[in-house]
Chains A and B, each alone.
Chain A
Protein backbone atom coordinates (compact mmCIF):
# COMPACT_ATOMS: atom_id res chain seq x y z
CA UNK A 1 0.00 0.00 0.00
CA UNK A 2 2.72 2.42 1.03
CA UNK A 3 4.67 1.51 -2.10
CA UNK A 4 1.62 2.27 -4.23
CA UNK A 5 1.29 5.70 -2.62
CA UNK A 6 4.90 6.47 -3.31
CA UNK A 7 4.52 5.46 -6.94
CA UNK A 8 1.38 7.54 -7.29
CA UNK A 9 3.13 10.53 -5.78
CA UNK A 10 6.07 10.20 -8.15
CA UNK A 11 3.74 9.87 -11.15
CA UNK A 12 1.84 12.97 -10.07
CA UNK A 13 4.80 15.19 -9.42
CA UNK A 14 6.86 14.24 -12.49
CA UNK A 15 3.79 14.58 -14.72
CA UNK A 16 3.11 18.05 -13.41
CA UNK A 17 6.72 19.20 -13.57
CA UNK A 18 7.19 18.03 -17.15
CA UNK A 19 4.13 19.90 -18.33
CA UNK A 20 5.09 23.14 -16.61
CA UNK A 21 5.51 26.22 -18.79
CA UNK A 22 6.90 29.62 -17.91
CA UNK A 23 4.73 32.45 -19.23
CA UNK A 24 6.67 34.39 -21.85
CA UNK A 25 7.01 38.14 -21.38
CA UNK A 26 8.19 40.66 -23.96
CA UNK A 27 11.69 41.18 -22.57
CA UNK A 28 12.34 37.42 -22.29
CA UNK A 29 11.02 37.12 -25.85
CA UNK A 30 13.51 39.71 -27.09
CA UNK A 31 16.48 38.14 -25.29
CA UNK A 32 15.63 34.56 -26.34
CA UNK A 33 16.13 35.41 -30.01
CA UNK A 34 19.09 37.82 -29.60
CA UNK A 35 22.31 36.23 -30.88
CA UNK A 36 24.31 37.88 -28.08
CA UNK A 37 22.36 35.86 -25.50
CA UNK A 38 23.76 32.57 -26.76
CA UNK A 39 27.37 31.53 -26.16
CA UNK A 40 26.86 27.87 -26.99
CA UNK A 41 24.90 26.06 -29.72
CA UNK A 42 21.24 26.79 -28.95
CA UNK A 43 17.92 26.14 -30.63
CA UNK A 44 14.88 28.25 -29.81
CA UNK A 45 11.90 26.35 -31.20
CA UNK A 46 8.47 28.01 -31.54
CA UNK A 47 5.65 25.50 -31.79
CA UNK A 48 1.93 24.89 -31.17
CA UNK A 49 0.12 21.75 -30.15
CA UNK A 50 -2.07 21.55 -33.30
CA UNK A 51 0.98 21.82 -35.60
CA UNK A 52 2.16 18.39 -36.79
CA UNK A 53 5.25 19.84 -38.49
CA UNK A 54 6.30 21.40 -35.18
CA UNK A 55 6.29 18.03 -33.45
CA UNK A 56 8.41 16.57 -36.24
CA UNK A 57 11.05 19.22 -35.47
CA UNK A 58 10.77 18.65 -31.71
CA UNK A 59 11.32 14.90 -32.14
CA UNK A 60 14.39 15.53 -34.30
CA UNK A 61 15.67 17.91 -31.63
CA UNK A 62 15.06 15.34 -28.89
CA UNK A 63 17.32 12.88 -30.75
CA UNK A 64 19.97 15.54 -31.42
CA UNK A 65 20.03 16.56 -27.77
CA UNK A 66 20.84 13.00 -26.73
CA UNK A 67 23.88 12.89 -29.01
CA UNK A 68 25.04 16.45 -28.28
CA UNK A 69 25.24 17.25 -24.59
CA UNK A 70 26.40 20.84 -25.20
CA UNK A 71 23.27 21.67 -27.23
CA UNK A 72 20.82 23.94 -25.41
CA UNK A 73 17.17 23.75 -26.40
CA UNK A 74 14.47 26.26 -25.50
CA UNK A 75 10.88 25.71 -26.61
CA UNK A 76 8.17 28.36 -26.84
CA UNK A 77 4.54 27.29 -27.24
CA UNK A 78 2.87 30.06 -29.25
CA UNK A 79 -0.39 29.41 -27.41
CA UNK A 80 -1.77 29.73 -23.92
CA UNK A 81 -1.29 26.20 -22.52
CA UNK A 82 -4.45 24.11 -22.67
CA UNK A 83 -4.99 20.52 -21.54
CA UNK A 84 -3.21 19.19 -24.67
CA UNK A 85 -0.11 21.43 -24.61
CA UNK A 86 1.87 19.60 -21.91
CA UNK A 87 1.09 16.06 -23.11
CA UNK A 88 1.84 17.03 -26.73
CA UNK A 89 5.36 18.30 -25.96
CA UNK A 90 6.02 15.43 -23.53
CA UNK A 91 5.29 12.97 -26.34
CA UNK A 92 8.10 14.43 -28.45
CA UNK A 93 10.65 13.91 -25.66
CA UNK A 94 12.28 17.28 -26.32
CA UNK A 95 14.27 18.54 -23.31
CA UNK A 96 15.03 22.09 -22.24
CA UNK A 97 13.34 25.16 -20.84
CA UNK A 98 9.67 25.48 -21.73
CA UNK A 99 8.00 28.79 -22.32
CA UNK A 100 4.43 29.46 -23.47
CA UNK A 101 2.31 32.49 -24.28
CA UNK A 102 0.52 33.88 -21.25
CA UNK A 103 -1.77 36.83 -20.63
CA UNK A 104 0.05 39.30 -22.88
CA UNK A 105 -1.20 40.20 -26.37
CA UNK A 106 -0.04 37.43 -28.78
CA UNK A 107 0.97 39.96 -31.45
CA UNK A 108 3.15 41.78 -28.91
CA UNK A 109 4.89 38.54 -27.89
CA UNK A 110 5.39 37.57 -31.54
CA UNK A 111 6.86 41.01 -32.24
CA UNK A 112 9.18 40.75 -29.23
CA UNK A 113 10.42 37.36 -30.40
CA UNK A 114 10.95 38.49 -33.97
CA UNK A 115 9.42 41.46 -35.84
CA UNK A 116 10.01 39.54 -39.11
CA UNK A 117 8.12 36.41 -38.06
CA UNK A 118 4.55 36.24 -39.44
CA UNK A 119 3.09 33.58 -37.18
CA UNK A 120 3.74 30.44 -39.24
CA UNK A 121 4.83 27.40 -37.23
CA UNK A 122 7.23 25.76 -36.70
CA UNK A 123 9.58 28.73 -36.50
CA UNK A 124 13.09 27.92 -35.32
CA UNK A 125 16.09 30.05 -34.36
CA UNK A 126 19.45 28.30 -34.68
CA UNK A 127 22.35 29.87 -32.80
CA UNK A 128 25.86 28.54 -33.41
CA UNK A 129 27.05 30.09 -30.13
CA UNK A 130 29.54 32.34 -31.94
CA UNK A 131 27.16 35.13 -32.84
CA UNK A 132 25.60 33.44 -35.85
CA UNK A 133 21.83 32.91 -36.10
CA UNK A 134 19.47 31.49 -38.71
CA UNK A 135 15.67 31.84 -38.56
CA UNK A 136 13.84 29.04 -40.36
CA UNK A 137 10.11 28.44 -40.94
CA UNK A 138 8.99 24.85 -41.50
CA UNK A 139 10.44 21.39 -41.04
CA UNK A 140 14.22 21.00 -40.59
CA UNK A 141 15.89 17.59 -40.85
CA UNK A 142 18.69 16.38 -38.55
CA UNK A 143 21.38 17.26 -41.12
CA UNK A 144 19.94 20.76 -41.42
CA UNK A 145 20.09 21.26 -37.65
CA UNK A 146 23.65 19.90 -37.46
CA UNK A 147 24.91 22.13 -40.27
CA UNK A 148 23.35 25.32 -38.89
CA UNK A 149 24.54 24.59 -35.34
CA UNK A 150 27.95 23.32 -36.43
CA UNK A 151 27.38 20.06 -34.57
CA UNK A 152 29.03 16.76 -35.42
Chain B
Protein backbone atom coordinates (compact mmCIF):
# COMPACT_ATOMS: atom_id res chain seq x y z
CA UNK B 1 0.00 0.00 0.00
CA UNK B 2 2.73 2.35 1.03
CA UNK B 3 4.73 1.63 -2.12
CA UNK B 4 1.65 2.10 -4.27
CA UNK B 5 1.00 5.43 -2.63
CA UNK B 6 4.56 6.59 -3.17
CA UNK B 7 4.34 5.57 -6.80
CA UNK B 8 1.10 7.50 -7.23
CA UNK B 9 2.69 10.53 -5.60
CA UNK B 10 5.68 10.28 -7.91
CA UNK B 11 3.47 10.04 -11.00
CA UNK B 12 1.40 12.92 -9.77
CA UNK B 13 4.37 15.16 -9.15
CA UNK B 14 5.75 14.26 -12.57
CA UNK B 15 2.42 15.11 -14.15
CA UNK B 16 2.45 18.37 -12.24
CA UNK B 17 5.88 19.29 -13.55
CA UNK B 18 4.94 18.51 -17.13
CA UNK B 19 1.76 20.53 -16.88
CA UNK B 20 3.75 23.43 -15.47
CA UNK B 21 6.34 23.18 -18.21
CA UNK B 22 3.56 23.39 -20.80
CA UNK B 23 2.05 26.38 -19.10
CA UNK B 24 5.44 28.10 -19.11
CA UNK B 25 5.95 27.36 -22.78
CA UNK B 26 2.52 28.78 -23.57
CA UNK B 27 3.40 32.03 -21.76
CA UNK B 28 6.88 32.14 -23.28
CA UNK B 29 8.44 32.10 -19.82
CA UNK B 30 10.50 28.91 -19.74
CA UNK B 31 12.92 29.05 -16.85
CA UNK B 32 16.21 30.48 -18.15
CA UNK B 33 19.48 28.82 -17.19
CA UNK B 34 21.94 30.57 -14.89
CA UNK B 35 24.90 31.84 -16.90
CA UNK B 36 27.69 30.75 -14.51
CA UNK B 37 30.38 32.39 -16.62
CA UNK B 38 32.86 32.92 -13.77
CA UNK B 39 36.24 31.76 -15.10
CA UNK B 40 39.83 32.27 -14.06
CA UNK B 41 42.97 32.54 -16.18
CA UNK B 42 46.72 32.53 -15.55
CA UNK B 43 49.88 31.88 -17.50
CA UNK B 44 52.00 29.00 -16.24
CA UNK B 45 55.70 29.71 -15.53
CA UNK B 46 56.48 28.29 -19.01
CA UNK B 47 54.04 30.68 -20.70
CA UNK B 48 51.02 28.46 -21.41
CA UNK B 49 47.65 30.15 -20.88
CA UNK B 50 45.51 28.18 -18.43
CA UNK B 51 41.75 28.84 -18.11
CA UNK B 52 39.39 27.18 -15.64
CA UNK B 53 35.61 27.36 -16.10
CA UNK B 54 32.49 25.42 -15.16
CA UNK B 55 30.69 22.94 -17.41
CA UNK B 56 27.75 21.24 -15.75
CA UNK B 57 28.98 19.81 -12.45
CA UNK B 58 32.63 19.89 -13.46
CA UNK B 59 35.43 22.40 -13.75
CA UNK B 60 37.34 22.19 -17.00
CA UNK B 61 40.91 23.31 -17.67
CA UNK B 62 41.73 24.72 -21.10
CA UNK B 63 45.27 25.52 -22.21
CA UNK B 64 46.55 27.57 -25.12
CA UNK B 65 50.05 28.35 -26.37
CA UNK B 66 48.87 31.17 -28.69
CA UNK B 67 46.90 33.41 -26.30
CA UNK B 68 43.58 31.70 -26.87
CA UNK B 69 43.47 31.37 -30.67
CA UNK B 70 43.74 27.58 -30.43
CA UNK B 71 43.32 25.27 -27.46
CA UNK B 72 44.74 21.92 -26.35
CA UNK B 73 42.18 19.19 -25.56
CA UNK B 74 40.46 20.19 -22.29
CA UNK B 75 41.10 18.38 -18.99
CA UNK B 76 38.45 17.76 -16.35
CA UNK B 77 39.44 19.10 -12.90
CA UNK B 78 36.99 17.07 -10.77
CA UNK B 79 36.33 13.73 -12.43
CA UNK B 80 33.51 13.06 -9.97
CA UNK B 81 30.78 15.68 -10.64
CA UNK B 82 29.83 17.93 -7.72
CA UNK B 83 28.09 21.29 -7.24
CA UNK B 84 30.42 24.20 -8.14
CA UNK B 85 29.90 27.94 -7.62
CA UNK B 86 30.90 29.94 -10.71
CA UNK B 87 28.92 33.15 -10.80
CA UNK B 88 29.95 36.77 -10.24
CA UNK B 89 32.27 37.05 -7.22
CA UNK B 90 32.07 33.25 -6.64
CA UNK B 91 34.98 32.25 -8.86
CA UNK B 92 37.24 29.26 -9.33
CA UNK B 93 40.87 30.25 -8.71
CA UNK B 94 44.16 28.86 -9.92
CA UNK B 95 47.81 29.19 -8.94
CA UNK B 96 51.10 27.54 -9.85
CA UNK B 97 53.38 26.13 -7.23
CA UNK B 98 57.14 26.80 -7.46
CA UNK B 99 57.70 23.43 -9.17
CA UNK B 100 55.04 24.17 -11.82
CA UNK B 101 52.20 22.11 -10.28
CA UNK B 102 48.79 23.68 -10.93
CA UNK B 103 46.40 24.19 -8.02
CA UNK B 104 42.71 24.86 -8.66
CA UNK B 105 40.31 25.87 -5.88
CA UNK B 106 36.56 26.36 -5.89
CA UNK B 107 33.52 26.55 -3.64
CA UNK B 108 31.27 23.49 -3.54
CA UNK B 109 27.76 24.63 -2.50
CA UNK B 110 26.07 22.31 0.03
CA UNK B 111 22.37 21.45 0.32
CA UNK B 112 21.42 24.35 2.62
CA UNK B 113 21.30 27.56 0.56
CA UNK B 114 24.51 29.64 0.56
CA UNK B 115 26.60 27.17 2.47
CA UNK B 116 29.69 25.61 0.98
CA UNK B 117 33.05 23.92 1.26
CA UNK B 118 36.37 25.10 -0.12
CA UNK B 119 37.82 22.49 -2.47
CA UNK B 120 41.25 22.10 -4.02
CA UNK B 121 42.65 19.81 -6.72
CA UNK B 122 46.19 19.56 -8.09
CA UNK B 123 47.58 18.83 -11.53
CA UNK B 124 51.21 17.86 -11.12
CA UNK B 125 53.55 19.30 -13.73
CA UNK B 126 53.49 17.01 -16.75
CA UNK B 127 50.49 15.01 -15.45
CA UNK B 128 47.32 14.57 -17.47
CA UNK B 129 44.83 13.96 -14.65
CA UNK B 130 44.03 16.00 -11.57
CA UNK B 131 44.29 14.56 -8.08
CA UNK B 132 41.09 13.77 -6.17
CA UNK B 133 39.89 17.10 -4.71
CA UNK B 134 40.21 17.70 -0.98
CA UNK B 135 38.30 20.00 1.36
CA UNK B 136 40.70 22.62 2.67
CA UNK B 137 39.12 23.23 6.13
CA UNK B 138 38.54 20.90 9.07
CA UNK B 139 35.20 22.51 9.95
CA UNK B 140 32.50 20.43 8.24
CA UNK B 141 29.46 22.31 9.53
CA UNK B 142 26.90 23.06 6.81
CA UNK B 143 27.54 26.80 6.92
CA UNK B 144 29.13 29.42 4.68
CA UNK B 145 32.70 28.66 3.57
CA UNK B 146 32.72 30.55 0.28
CA UNK B 147 34.52 33.14 -1.90
CA UNK B 148 37.89 31.36 -1.64
CA UNK B 149 41.19 32.55 -3.03
CA UNK B 150 44.66 31.06 -2.93
CA UNK B 151 48.28 32.15 -3.29
CA UNK B 152 51.55 30.23 -3.56
CA UNK B 153 54.93 31.57 -2.45
CA UNK B 154 58.60 30.95 -3.20
CA UNK B 155 58.94 28.54 -0.27
CA UNK B 156 56.23 26.31 -1.77
CA UNK B 157 53.64 27.23 0.83
CA UNK B 158 49.98 27.36 -0.33
CA UNK B 159 47.71 29.80 1.53
CA UNK B 160 43.93 29.65 1.02
CA UNK B 161 41.52 32.31 2.34
CA UNK B 162 37.73 32.32 2.38
CA UNK B 163 34.63 33.91 3.88
CA UNK B 164 33.47 31.84 6.86
CA UNK B 165 30.31 32.17 8.95
CA UNK B 166 31.11 29.92 11.96
CA UNK B 167 31.57 32.94 14.26
CA UNK B 168 28.33 34.47 12.98
CA UNK B 169 26.47 31.17 13.52
CA UNK B 170 27.89 30.90 17.06
CA UNK B 171 26.76 34.45 17.84
CA UNK B 172 23.30 33.68 16.46
CA UNK B 173 23.01 30.65 18.79
CA UNK B 174 23.86 32.90 21.74
CA UNK B 175 21.42 35.54 20.45
CA UNK B 176 24.30 38.00 20.07
CA UNK B 177 24.77 40.36 17.16
CA UNK B 178 27.68 39.88 14.76
CA UNK B 179 28.62 42.14 11.85
CA UNK B 180 28.85 40.21 8.59
CA UNK B 181 31.09 37.14 8.40
CA UNK B 182 34.78 36.32 9.06
CA UNK B 183 37.87 35.64 6.97
CA UNK B 184 39.67 32.33 7.61
CA UNK B 185 42.90 30.91 6.25
CA UNK B 186 44.50 27.48 5.90
CA UNK B 187 48.10 26.74 4.92
CA UNK B 188 49.67 23.76 3.18
CA UNK B 189 53.42 23.12 3.39
CA UNK B 190 53.31 20.03 1.16
CA UNK B 191 52.20 21.65 -2.07
CA UNK B 192 48.46 21.38 -1.44
CA UNK B 193 48.41 17.68 -0.48
CA UNK B 194 47.20 18.49 3.03
CA UNK B 195 46.30 21.59 5.06
CA UNK B 196 46.96 22.51 8.68
CA UNK B 197 43.85 23.37 10.75
CA UNK B 198 42.44 26.74 9.71
CA UNK B 199 42.92 30.09 11.48
CA UNK B 200 40.68 33.08 11.82
CA UNK B 201 42.24 36.07 10.04
CA UNK B 202 39.62 38.64 11.05
CA UNK B 203 36.06 39.02 12.30
CA UNK B 204 33.46 41.21 10.57
CA UNK B 205 34.09 40.85 6.84
CA UNK B 206 31.36 41.52 4.32
CA UNK B 207 29.49 38.32 3.38
CA UNK B 208 29.33 38.34 -0.39
CA UNK B 209 32.48 39.73 -2.02
CA UNK B 210 35.57 38.07 -3.46
CA UNK B 211 38.85 38.34 -1.50
CA UNK B 212 41.95 39.79 -3.21
CA UNK B 213 45.14 37.88 -2.40
CA UNK B 214 48.73 38.43 -3.55
CA UNK B 215 52.28 38.41 -2.18
CA UNK B 216 53.81 41.41 -0.42
CA UNK B 217 57.27 42.72 -1.47
CA UNK B 218 58.96 40.19 0.87
CA UNK B 219 56.77 37.24 -0.12
CA UNK B 220 54.28 37.35 2.77
CA UNK B 221 50.65 36.73 1.74
CA UNK B 222 48.70 40.00 1.58
CA UNK B 223 44.89 39.98 1.50
CA UNK B 224 42.34 42.71 0.87
CA UNK B 225 38.60 42.28 1.42
CA UNK B 226 35.44 44.29 1.97
CA UNK B 227 35.04 44.70 5.71
CA UNK B 228 32.21 45.91 7.95
CA UNK B 229 33.72 48.53 10.27
CA UNK B 230 31.54 49.60 13.21
CA UNK B 231 28.72 50.35 13.07
CA UNK B 232 28.15 49.40 9.41
CA UNK B 233 30.80 51.05 7.23
CA UNK B 234 31.55 48.83 4.26
CA UNK B 235 35.18 49.75 3.63
CA UNK B 236 38.19 47.46 3.12
CA UNK B 237 40.64 45.70 5.42
CA UNK B 238 44.18 44.66 4.49
CA UNK B 239 46.00 41.81 6.25
CA UNK B 240 49.58 40.61 6.07
CA UNK B 241 49.79 36.96 7.00
CA UNK B 242 52.46 35.01 8.86
CA UNK B 243 53.71 31.73 7.38
CA UNK B 244 51.08 29.82 9.42
CA UNK B 245 48.27 31.93 7.95
CA UNK B 246 47.55 33.92 11.12
CA UNK B 247 47.46 37.70 10.68
CA UNK B 248 50.61 39.66 11.38
CA UNK B 249 48.72 42.92 10.99
CA UNK B 250 45.18 43.91 9.96
CA UNK B 251 44.78 47.51 8.76
CA UNK B 252 41.85 49.58 7.63
CA UNK B 253 42.76 50.15 4.00
CA UNK B 254 39.99 52.40 2.61
CA UNK B 255 38.11 55.30 4.16
CA UNK B 256 35.05 55.90 1.97
CA UNK B 257 32.65 55.36 4.91
CA UNK B 258 29.77 53.74 3.02
CA UNK B 259 27.28 53.14 5.82
CA UNK B 260 24.88 50.51 4.52
CA UNK B 261 23.38 47.16 5.45
CA UNK B 262 23.54 45.67 1.98
CA UNK B 263 25.42 43.19 -0.19
CA UNK B 264 27.51 45.05 -2.78
CA UNK B 265 28.52 41.78 -4.55
CA UNK B 266 31.73 43.47 -5.70
CA UNK B 267 35.09 42.61 -4.13
CA UNK B 268 38.43 44.44 -4.56
CA UNK B 269 41.66 43.63 -6.40
CA UNK B 270 45.23 44.15 -5.19
CA UNK B 271 48.70 44.33 -6.77
CA UNK B 272 52.12 44.91 -5.18
CA UNK B 273 54.67 46.37 -7.59
CA UNK B 274 58.43 45.70 -7.75
CA UNK B 275 59.07 48.55 -5.29
CA UNK B 276 56.57 47.12 -2.80
CA UNK B 277 53.88 49.76 -3.34
CA UNK B 278 50.35 48.42 -2.78
CA UNK B 279 47.95 49.31 -5.57
CA UNK B 280 44.25 48.48 -5.34
CA UNK B 281 40.94 48.91 -7.11
CA UNK B 282 37.67 48.66 -5.23
CA UNK B 283 34.02 49.60 -5.40
CA UNK B 284 32.56 51.85 -2.75
CA UNK B 285 30.13 54.63 -2.19
CA UNK B 286 31.77 57.91 -1.26
CA UNK B 287 29.75 61.06 -0.55
CA UNK B 288 26.66 59.32 -1.94
CA UNK B 289 28.30 58.34 -5.22
CA UNK B 290 28.97 54.64 -5.98
CA UNK B 291 32.21 54.33 -7.94
CA UNK B 292 35.13 52.05 -8.67
CA UNK B 293 38.29 53.63 -7.22
CA UNK B 294 42.01 53.22 -7.67
CA UNK B 295 44.42 54.09 -4.84
CA UNK B 296 47.72 53.19 -3.19
CA UNK B 297 47.01 51.50 0.11
CA UNK B 298 48.57 52.11 3.51
CA UNK B 299 51.31 50.01 5.04
CA UNK B 300 53.72 49.43 2.14
CA UNK B 301 57.25 50.84 2.02
CA UNK B 302 56.92 54.60 1.73
CA UNK B 303 53.15 54.55 2.38
CA UNK B 304 51.76 56.24 5.46
CA UNK B 305 48.42 55.35 7.01
CA UNK B 306 46.32 56.97 4.30
CA UNK B 307 45.15 56.02 0.85
CA UNK B 308 47.23 57.93 -1.69
CA UNK B 309 46.27 59.03 -5.18
CA UNK B 310 42.64 57.86 -4.91
CA UNK B 311 40.77 58.50 -8.17
CA UNK B 312 37.52 57.16 -9.65
CA UNK B 313 38.09 54.55 -12.37
CA UNK B 314 36.02 54.78 -15.56
CA UNK B 315 32.50 56.12 -15.77
CA UNK B 316 29.66 55.90 -13.27
CA UNK B 317 28.81 52.32 -14.36
CA UNK B 318 32.35 50.91 -14.23
CA UNK B 319 32.27 47.59 -12.37
CA UNK B 320 34.36 44.60 -11.23
CA UNK B 321 37.82 46.07 -11.85
CA UNK B 322 41.01 44.03 -11.69
CA UNK B 323 44.60 45.26 -11.30
CA UNK B 324 48.09 43.82 -11.91
CA UNK B 325 51.66 45.05 -12.20
CA UNK B 326 54.50 43.65 -14.34
CA UNK B 327 57.52 44.99 -16.23
CA UNK B 328 57.11 48.48 -14.78
CA UNK B 329 53.51 48.74 -16.02
CA UNK B 330 50.47 48.98 -13.79
CA UNK B 331 47.25 47.97 -15.57
CA UNK B 332 43.58 48.14 -14.54
CA UNK B 333 40.69 46.62 -16.50
CA UNK B 334 36.98 46.71 -15.80
CA UNK B 335 33.65 46.28 -17.54
CA UNK B 336 31.23 49.11 -18.09
CA UNK B 337 27.71 48.99 -19.53
CA UNK B 338 27.16 51.98 -21.84
CA UNK B 339 23.37 51.69 -22.12
CA UNK B 340 23.54 49.21 -24.99
CA UNK B 341 26.71 47.17 -24.80
CA UNK B 342 29.16 46.05 -22.16
CA UNK B 343 32.62 47.47 -22.75
CA UNK B 344 36.02 46.26 -21.61
CA UNK B 345 38.01 49.32 -20.67
CA UNK B 346 41.38 49.84 -19.05
CA UNK B 347 43.98 52.19 -17.60
CA UNK B 348 47.75 51.93 -17.94
CA UNK B 349 50.39 53.65 -15.85
CA UNK B 350 54.19 53.59 -16.10
CA UNK B 351 54.78 55.89 -13.10
CA UNK B 352 53.31 53.79 -10.29
CA UNK B 353 49.76 55.11 -10.62
CA UNK B 354 50.46 58.87 -10.73
CA UNK B 355 49.29 59.20 -14.34
CA UNK B 356 47.16 56.87 -16.45
CA UNK B 357 46.37 56.49 -20.14
CA UNK B 358 42.99 55.00 -21.08
CA UNK B 359 42.53 51.74 -23.04
CA UNK B 360 39.42 50.73 -25.03
CA UNK B 361 39.70 46.98 -25.44
CA UNK B 362 36.39 45.36 -26.50
CA UNK B 363 32.59 45.57 -26.44
CA UNK B 364 29.84 42.95 -26.61
CA UNK B 365 26.04 42.69 -26.70
CA UNK B 366 25.86 39.50 -24.66
CA UNK B 367 26.43 38.35 -21.12
CA UNK B 368 29.96 38.59 -19.69
CA UNK B 369 32.15 37.45 -16.83
CA UNK B 370 34.26 39.85 -14.80
CA UNK B 371 37.50 40.75 -16.62
CA UNK B 372 41.00 39.92 -15.27
CA UNK B 373 44.51 41.25 -15.81
CA UNK B 374 47.05 38.45 -16.09
CA UNK B 375 50.84 38.48 -16.54
CA UNK B 376 53.17 36.39 -18.66
CA UNK B 377 56.63 37.33 -17.44
CA UNK B 378 56.89 41.08 -17.90
CA UNK B 379 53.86 41.35 -20.22
CA UNK B 380 50.29 42.08 -19.14
CA UNK B 381 47.11 40.83 -20.83
CA UNK B 382 43.40 41.32 -20.25
CA UNK B 383 41.29 38.17 -20.10
CA UNK B 384 37.54 38.45 -20.58
CA UNK B 385 35.03 35.65 -21.05
CA UNK B 386 32.04 36.72 -23.12
CA UNK B 387 28.99 34.56 -23.75
CA UNK B 388 29.08 35.44 -27.47
CA UNK B 389 32.85 35.45 -28.07
CA UNK B 390 34.21 32.85 -25.65
CA UNK B 391 37.51 33.19 -23.78
CA UNK B 392 39.29 36.25 -25.15
CA UNK B 393 42.78 37.49 -24.43
CA UNK B 394 43.86 41.09 -25.18
CA UNK B 395 47.60 41.96 -25.06
CA UNK B 396 48.02 45.25 -23.17
CA UNK B 397 50.51 47.89 -24.36
Residues of B close to A81: CB separation below 8 A: 31
**Cα distance A152–B314 when bound, in Å?**
44
Interface string of B31-49 (1 = CB under 8 A from A): 1111100000000000000
Q: Which residues of A contact B366 (CB under 8 A)?
A: 105
B16 and A48 contacting across the interface, CB-CB below 8 Å: no
Is the pair A16, B20 in contact by a Cβ cutoff of 8 Å?
yes
> Is B12 a contact of A119 with CB atoms below 8 Å?
no
* B residues 296-318 touching A (CB-CB < 8 Å): 316-317
Within the complex, the shortest CB–CB distance from B369 to chain A, in Å, comes to: 11
Contact with A along B16-35 (1 / 0, CB 8 A): 10001000000001011111
**How far is the CB of A8 from the nearest CB of chain B, in Å?**
6
- In the bound complex, residues from chain A placing their C-beta under 8 Å from that of B265 are 48, 119-121
- Within 8 Å CB of A142, what residues of B? none
Which interface residue of A16, A48, A102, A105 has the most chain B CB atoms within 10 A? A105
- The CA of A54 and the CA of B34, in the complex, are separated in Å by 20
Chain B positions within 8 Å of A123 at CB level? 262
B349 lies within 8 A of chain A by Cβ: no
- Rounded to whole angstroms, the CA-CA distance of A85 and B95 in the bound complex is 33
- Write the chain B residue with the least CB distance to A82: B34
Asked if B283 and A51 sit within 8 Å, CB to CB, the answer is no
CB distance from B130 to the nearest CB of A (A): 27
Min CB gap B62→A, angstroms: 24
Determine whether the beta carbon of B9 is less than 8 Å from that of A118. Answer: no
Residue of B nearest to A15 (CB): B16
> How far is A111 from B342 in the complex, measured between Cα atoms in Å?
11
Give the docked Cα–Cα distance between A78 and B290 (Å).
18
Contact for B114 among A50, A80, A110, A115, CB less than 8 A? A50
Asked whether any CB of chain A lies closer than 8 Å to the CB of B72, the reply is no
A-facing residues in B36-93 (Cβ within 8 Å): none
Within 8 Å of chain B (Cβ to Cβ): is A97? no
* Complex CA–CA separation, A119 to B292 (angstroms): 12
Asked whether B208 lies within 8 Å of A118 as measured between CB atoms, the reply is: no
The interface size of chain B toward A, counting residues with CB under 8 Å, comes to 39
Q: Check if B8 sits within 8 Å of A53, measured CB to CB.
A: no
Complexed CA–CA distance, A49 and B112 (Å): 12
Q: Tell me the minimal C-beta distance from B230 to chain A in angstroms.
A: 16
A68 to B364, CA, bound (A): 45
| Of the residues A13, A49, A111, contact of B113 by C-beta under 8 Å | A49
Mask, B353-377, CB within 8 Å of A = 1, is: 0000000000001111000000000
Provide the bound-state CA to CA distance between A116 and B317, in Å: 8
Contact of A23 among B29, B262, B266 (CB under 8 A): B29
Q: For residue A52, give the distance in angstroms from its CB to the closest CB of chain B.
A: 7
Interface residues of B in 181-224 (CB under 8 A from A): 207-208
A133, chain B: closest CB distance, angstroms: 17
Query: Which residues of A79-123 have CB atoms within 8 Å of chain B's CB atoms?
Result: 79-82, 84, 87-88, 102-103, 105-108, 110-111, 115-116, 118-123
A39 nearest CB across to chain B (Å): 27
User: Looking across the interface, which residue of chain A has its beta carbon closest to that of B15?
Assistant: A12
- Contact B207–A84 (Cβ < 8 Å): no
Chain A residues lying within 8 Å of B20, measured Cβ to Cβ, are 16
Contacts of B13 in A (CB 8 A): 12
Instruction: Check B263–A51 contact: CB distance below 8 A.
Output: yes
Q: Which residue of B lies closest to A78 (CB)?
A: B265
- B127 contacts the other chain (Cβ, under 8 Å)? no
Whether a CB of chain B sits under 8 angstroms from the CB of A138 is: yes
Q: Which chain B positions have C-beta within 8 A of A102? A: 29, 32
B342 with A107: CB separation less than 8 A: yes
Least CB separation from A81: chain B residue: B31
Q: Closest Cβ of chain A: how far from B13's Cβ, in Å?
A: 6
Q: Which B residues are in CB contact (< 8 Å) with A28?
A: none
Given A4-B5, A5-B12, A81-B31, does the pair A137, B342 have CB atoms closer than 8 Å? no
Between A and B, 21 residue pairs with Cβ closer than 8 Å are A9-B12, A16-B20, A49-B114, A51-B263, A52-B207, A54-B263, A80-B32, A80-B35, A81-B31, A84-B113, A84-B114, A102-B32, A103-B32, A105-B337, A105-B368, A107-B317, A116-B316, A119-B319, A120-B266, A121-B262, A138-B261
